[in-house]
A and B are shown apart, each in its own frame.
Chain A
Amino acid sequence: MYKLLTRFSLTQKFMILGLTAFVLVSALTYLLVSTADEGIDFVRHEIKGSESLVPVMSLLQTVQQHRGLSSLVLSGKNEVVPLWNAKRKEVDQAVEAIDAVNKRFPELNLSNNWHAVKGQWQKLKADVAGLSPQESFHRHTALTESITRFVSLIADNSNITYDPTVESYTIGQIASVNMPMSTEFMGHMRAFGAVLLGQKNASESERARIDIYAGMAQQELEKLNLTLDKIYAVNPELKSVFKASHQEMESKVKEALKLVNEQIVSSKKLDYPSQQYAATLSSAIDAQFAFIRVVDEQLYISLNAQANRLATKKYTILIIVVLLFALCVAVAMAVMRGILIQVRSITKALESIAQGDLGARADMPHTPNEFVQIARSFDSMAAALQARQSEAARAEARFANIVNLASDAIISVDEDQRILIFNYGAELIFGYTTAEMLGQPLDRLLPERYTEAHRGHLRQFGAERQTTRHMNRRPDIFGRRKDGSEFFAEANISQAMENGKQVFTVILRDISARKQAEEEIRQLNVNLERRVLERTTELQAANQELEAFSYSVSHDLRAPLRAIDGFSQALLEDYADKLDDQARDYLNRVRTATQRMGHLIDDMLTLSRVTRAEMRRETVDLSALAADVIAELQKSEPLRRVDWHIESGLVAEGDAPLLRVVLVNLLGNAWKFTGKTANAQIEFGALNNAEGAPGFFVRDNGAGYDMAYADKLFGAFQRLHLASDFPGTGIGLATVQHIVHRHGGRLWAEGAVGKGATFYFTL
């Protein structure tokens, strides 16, 4: 059911709902209307009955009158024969009227009974002339009884006796039961009283009989009053309708009853003229029938009013139902229209958004309902969408800027290698315009000899599902410009899925210039290597020469010196007696000079060896080395007293023999320059410096030096002291500096004349 209904449009749903309501309302209306129609038919039936009653009452009246006239005629009063005949015609007229009514209302089903009554009358009419007065009276009375029963039948068949409303039921009772009976009592009294007055004598039983008639008539009057009071209680207006005829009828009946009582029941002598008596009672009966006619008329009116009320009620119900249904339809249509308008408003906004107008909003009333909630949700969705799209647009603009401003070529291709993006950088590099290249195959940008291989690479890359790759892993990528020239390129390729399709993006740059620069650098390097090799060879040659020179120096310069010294000594020893003091002094000077030159040569050899020697770095215990050097110094002059402070655990990375030379020189210098200082102190320790490299110092409190000449301290053969004061060659510190430099360190000094000196070095 639910699923079935969701298939229909809103209009169709409302139509289904309307149809269902229509059927329901129709059924209810039919029930209501048919109930009302039943009531109306019921009342119409009664109306027919009330119409039928009128001629029957005429019949009853005329038959009663015919009964009285027949009595008179049959008693010999021939003067009333014309009246009697006339009355007989009236009865026939009444019979005809009832025939007509019976024809009109066959549904009252009266014809059988009516034919019996009618037959009874026709038989009586045929027989009446030959009957005795008593027989005539009985036959007439039997007829009036039949008529009275017929009246009851009419009342029954036409529902009057079953009418549920008090008014019409009671009126019906009066018209069909009470009054006919009253007239019958009055008729009996008229006929019987007239006979008694005619014979001017009455037995007790005859008096009692007429008194019973009078009592019953009296009773009927009282019953009528009670009944009328009931009617008036229901409908007071009827009082005015009935009042005149009722009062007239009542007074005439009372007058007749009074007459009966005074002149027959209570009178000893029955001398009241019978004709007058009959006239008085006839007048009362006429009044009764007049009242009956009024009542009949009112019954007809009441029933019609009732029928009209029922009809009005029925049509009112119909009108109300129709109006309500129309209202329902109108409300439903308004609701539907409202829904459709709101749906259309939302749909319109959705369509606008679908067409790209993200500013579109559903135009909705401010009162909250479900659609307004939907519209608000939709509006906030649209706003979010708009914000996101503008962000996307900004991102796209940024992307476009990056792509356009990039000096690299950025080229995207689809799975068929058709170009999708060809940026400005690509235009500059390849010489094609973007318009020329969009949709073109990528092959146009490659040298023809590479196109097939490149397709293979791209397919392989696509199959790998690797997201990015540097194409320059392969050597020598080439691009082809519009003019057909080729260039070295470096490229990265990446792939992404766009709407389920692979898109490859290549970022490519022309690296011809770089390649050229690389080639130039390579050439330069080759040249440089060749020149380095040449220089190295030259240097090696120079080194060998230097070595040969040093060798010569150590041998060939020392030998003459030794000869000079040796022979000077020989002269001093062997020819002492032939030499005077001056000659001996000279020879001693010669010897001193030669020995000094020997030292010079040794130191120079050390310096040259320091320069040439191969370095082997190892961990050197400087503290132990210093102690060794000091021990040697002490041994050379065992009598000297020097206060040594050697920091323990000093360690350095370096060439042990060379570091020994350093300490020999620095400690040797300190030893030498404190030679004339009392309380000589020499300190060797670690330097706290910020350079990171390990640092050391050698401090003494000896002769010191003038800082003004500090720049000459480390030059070869530079001396700041006289050899006579402090012997030396001026090569020691130059050698130390050489060694320190070869270790990548630094050597510097502080000092003042007479205040000692401190030498610092790092390694």
Chain B
Amino acid sequence: MNNQTVLLVEDNPDDEALTLRAFKKNNIFNELTVARDGQEALDYFFGEGASERPAPAVVLLDLKLPKIDGLEVLRRIRADPRTRLQPIVILTSSREEQDIITGYSLGANSYIRKPVDFSQFMEAIRQLGLYWLVLNVPPVSK
């Protein structure tokens, strides 16, 4: 397991808390950076001091966000050559087909629907951490 950070883009504090809890309960100790809207997420990559910040091992991206929505964030990240290979997993409540198709079209690496049942949510986070943080070899390594 590498120690790279995970960027969670989530506006809902409850979901943020539950995600953090799921990470902790699943013994995932990577640093979890939270962006609370689309703008914050983009600022992480392109804002002031962005070059100082490490590229996240994975971005967990909600779609329904204040200011700039998740799909727009995804599009911009993919549009920039510096970040176009950034692993991004869409983690959202939406099950809309349109969202799924658009997400993948814009280059999302994965699309995970957040279950209501917390036990299932826990399981999802566990597998997600295992895959992206342990098994997956990231495209860039700083």
Contacts and interface: CB of A to CB of B under 8 A. Distances in A.
Interface of A: 550-551, 554-556, 558-563, 565-570, 573, 591, 594-595, 597-598, 602, 605, 609
Contact of B116 (A551, A567, A595): A595
Contact of A566 (B94, B96, B121): B121
Given A567-B14, A594-B116, A562 B21 contact: no
Given A556-B64, A558-B114, A570-B18, 5 more contacts: A558-B93, A559-B15, A562-B121, A563-B18, A566-B21
B119 A555 contact: no
A561 B15 CA distance: 10
Contacts of A559: 12, 14-15, 93
Given A559-B12, A560-B14, A566-B18, A551 B96 contact: yes
Interface string B88-103: 0000111111000000
A566 B122 CA distance: 9
Contact of B114 (A551, A556, A562, A595): A562
Interface in B86-142: 92-97, 114-119, 121
Contact of B118 (A550, A558, A569, A609): A569
Contact of A562 (B64, B94, B118): B118
Interface string B29-71: 0000000000000000000000000000000000110000000
Interface residues of B, number: 22
Interface of B: 12, 14-15, 17-18, 21, 25, 63-64, 92-97, 114-119, 121
B21 A563 contact: no
B117 A565 contact: yes
A554 B116 contact: no
Contact of B92 (A555, A566, A567, A594): A555
Given A566-B14, A566-B21, A555 B117 contact: no
A561 B119 CA distance: 13
Contacts of B121: 562, 566
B14 A554 contact: no
Nearest to B99: A551
A548 to B, nearest CB: 11
A338 B21 CA distance: 145
Given A561-B116, A569-B119, A595-B117, A555 B15 contact: no
Contacts of A567: 14, 17-18
B96 A562 contact: no
Nearest to A572: B118
A551 to B, nearest CB: 6
A562 B116 contact: yes
Contacts of B92: 555
5 contacts: A551-B64, A555-B63, A555-B94, A562-B14, A566-B18
Nearest to A554: B94
Nearest to B119: A569
Contacts of B63: 555
Nearest to B97: A609
Contact of A602 (B21, B95, B119): B95
A396 to B, nearest CB: 79
B93 A562 contact: yes
Point out which of A558, A562, A565 has the most chain B C-beta atoms below 10 A from its C-beta.
A562
A556 B62 CA distance: 12
A558 B18 contact: no
Contacts of A598: 115-117
Point out which of B92, B94, B117 has the most chain A C-beta atoms below 10 A from its C-beta.
B117
Nearest to A657: B97
A609 B96 CA distance: 9
Nearest to A609: B97
B20 to A, nearest CB: 11
B32 to A, nearest CB: 16
Contacts of B93: 554-556, 558-559, 562
Contacts of B64: 551, 555-556
Contacts of B118: 562, 565-566, 568-570, 591
A594 B117 CA distance: 8
A568 B14 CA distance: 12
Contacts of B116: 558, 561-562, 565, 594-595, 597-598
Contact of B14 (A563, A569, A591, A594): A563
